[in-house]
Amino acid sequence: MLARTRSCALVGVEAVPVHIEVDAHQGLPGLTIVGLPDQSVKEARERIRTAVTNSQFRLANLRLTINLAPADIRKEGGAYDLAMALGLLAATGQVPPERLDPLVVLGELSLDGAVRPVKGILPAALAARSAGRTVMLPSQNMAEALLAAGARLMPVRSLLEAVDLLAAPEPAVTVAPGPDSTSAPRTSLDFADVAGQAFAKRALEVAAAGGHHVLMIGPPGAGKTMLAQRLPGVLPPLSVDQALETTAIHSVSGLLENHAWISQRPFRAPHHTISAAALIGGGTVPRPGELSLAHHGVLFLDELPEFPRAAIEALREPLEEGVVRIARVRRACVFPARLQLIAAMNPCPCGWMGDTSGRCRCRSHQVERYRQRVSGPVVDRIDLHVEVQPVRMEALRRPSGERSRAVYGRVAAARERQTRRLTGTGRITNGELTAREVQRFCRLAPAAEALLREAVERLQLSARAYHKLLKIARTIADLDGSGRIQTSHVAEAVQYRALDRAPGA
């Protein structure tokens, strides 16, 4: 007897249908799984046999074959266990085969027949909703699946409960309401906690307002990490669509805590020993890296020159395009990576170059070699280069400065101006503007245009750096409430290109 059901495989951050065909016929007893299964799927044979037996069902002494189609997509993990078990029961006449037809079934089986949670439920529920099918899923994944508004859900705790639901005349189905739009509480980290650093705080305000990337250069203990950690607190809250995109990426990666949705902008800070594949994404079966996990949030790379050279160079295209493209022999994957990069580095190997104490003993060639670990093309793609100075004792003893709430108010107002101006372009912030859109939206006053021309000639800026300078100036004008870029806006933008002002220093 032949039975069919459906499940899902994760390809990148998308769920693609997997058709499960189960055939039971006379022959040498045994269970074979075909259709490009990995080792974990092959091992499901023993899990399924034991779970079926412990759930008071039986597998007759028949030749059993399970086919997972399409055969060119590699199947991995335990998410197919429940679907294969139900297919076997249908093929042996213990479950009505027609009851499996409208379902997409996901869940890993334990040996006692209990259904364990799996990753990637949110993309699977969204795909099933688009196909007009009901998802049978582990009850522990229910909170995540409820985010897929309109999806029809059938949670189960065990194989026995799944069979009972299929035998019922009208199985209980829950329709997912989707997430509410209530913004999550803001982070408790506040800019007021950072002593001094008015210039760096202003630079991060500009970065937050325009979605710009930042490289901070300064000695140890100056506050670079503290500043980066407080950036999410001045960014606008995630929209519902942005939160769902971010949650789907974390779901595929198996990183959802308590299977709840990501309602705050993510902040990712990987250690500098991370591999290029872990940072960008990849693997034999491609998985999202830290860039994609920081989608719609902040990626903080501390001690940037200490990261592997391959990892740093791999940042080039994602910073420009907002996506990561990974090509493998069998399949190519695209992962979203629309993020803000905040990087930090010391001015020299010891970190104390320029300090008045004279403790730096680094030779010029050592400093040059250290700086060259971050190539010019990567630096050119970072909008703001900010010098962070040591903090004096007077600043440490001074009362707290401006709070994040006040900064957030200015950032939100600037973002609102950008939203109105960029309506219909598909862009959200100035940092995403294309070269053509820069010419359209970054209009300068005559004096500002003269100053910009002088800066480009004197600093010998590349075309990319020229456009980034215009984007930064446009953001500063938005913070100032100005419709046209003025001289003061260009002058401030030039200050945020430290590595252009002092090449090789």
343 in a structural domain: yes
Confirm whether 411 is domain-assigned. Answer: no
pLDDT of residue 255: 86
Residue 417 lies in a domain: no
Residue 399: pLDDT band by 50, 70, 90 thresholds?
Answer: low
Q: Which domain-ending residue is among 118, 149, 175?
A: 175
413 within domain boundaries = no
Same domain (yes/no): 145, 251: no
Q: Do 233 and 322 fall into the same domain? A: yes
Q: Is the pLDDT of residue 430 over 90?
A: yes
Provide the 10 A C-beta neighbour count for residue 389: 15
390 pLDDT band, cuts 50/70/90, is confident
Query: What mean pLDDT comes out for the span 137-155?
Result: 94
Q: Answer yes or no: is 185 within a domain.
A: no
Reported confidence tier of residue 186, pLDDT bands at 50, 70, 90: low
Three-state SS string across 301-337, please? ECCHHHCCHHHHHCCHHHHHHCEEEEECCCCEEEEEC
Q: Average of pLDDT values for 271-293?
A: 91
What letter does residue 151 receive in the DSSP assignment? -
SS3 track for 30-49 = EEEEECCECHHHHCHHHHHH
- The model's pTM: 0.88
CATH code for the domain of 479 = 1.10.8
If asked whether residues 161 and 298 sit together in one domain, one would say: no
In a domain? residue 181: no
Compute the average pLDDT of residues 241-255. Answer: 91
Examine residue 13 and state whether it is found in any structural domain, yes or no. yes
Alpha-carbon distance of 293 to 160, in angstroms, equals 37
Would you say 155 and 174 are in contact if contact means Cβ atoms under 8 Å apart? Answer: yes
Check which CATH number belongs to the domain holding 105 and give it.
Answer: 3.30.230.10
CATH code (residue 365): 3.40.50.300
The reply to whether 93 and 201 lie within a common domain is no
Tell me what pLDDT residue 133 has: 95
Question: Taking all residues of the chain, what is their mean pLDDT, rounded to a whole number?
Answer: 90
Domain assignment present for 334 = yes
Range of the domain at 74: 2-175
Does 224 lie in the same domain as 81? Answer: no
Are both 249 and 382 inside the same structural domain? yes
Number of domains within the chain: 3
Same domain, 309 and 340: yes
In this structure, are 114 and 242 located in the same domain?
no
Q: Which residue has the higher pLDDT, 30 or 34?
A: 34
Mean pLDDT of 86-100: 92
Same-domain pairing of 312 and 208: yes
**CA pair distance 314, 324, nearest whole angstrom:** 9
**Pairwise CA distance, residues 120 & 386, whole Å:** 39
Same domain as 203, residue 148: no
| Alpha-carbon distance values, 188 to 8, 184, 192, 262, 345 (Å) | 39, 12, 11, 17, 26
Higher pLDDT among residues 289 and 169, named by residue? 289
pLDDT of residue 499: 78
The predicted structure's pLDDT at residue 257: 72
Give the type of residue at 179. P
* % of the chain surpassing 70 pLDDT: 95
Kindly indicate the confidence band of residue 400, based on its pLDDT and cuts at 50, 70 and 90. low
Q: How far is CA 21 from CA 2, 30, 80, 96, 111, in A?
A: 7, 16, 12, 15, 23
CA atoms within 13 A on the CB side of 210: 30
Are 441 and 345 contained in the same domain? no
- pLDDT, residue 254, reads 86
User: With 70 as the cut, is the pLDDT of residue 419 above it?
Assistant: yes
Mean pLDDT for the stretch of residues 134-161: 94
- Which residues lie closer than 8 Å to 312 by C-beta, 6 or more apart? 304, 373, 374, 375, 378
Residues 438 and 480 in one domain: yes
Looking only at the bridges linking them, the beta strands covering 152-156 and 134-138 are parallel
For the segment 61-68, the average pLDDT, to the nearest whole number, is 90
Where is average pLDDT lowest: 50-54, 115-119, 361-365? 361-365
pLDDT band at 172 (very low <50, low <70, confident <90, very high): confident
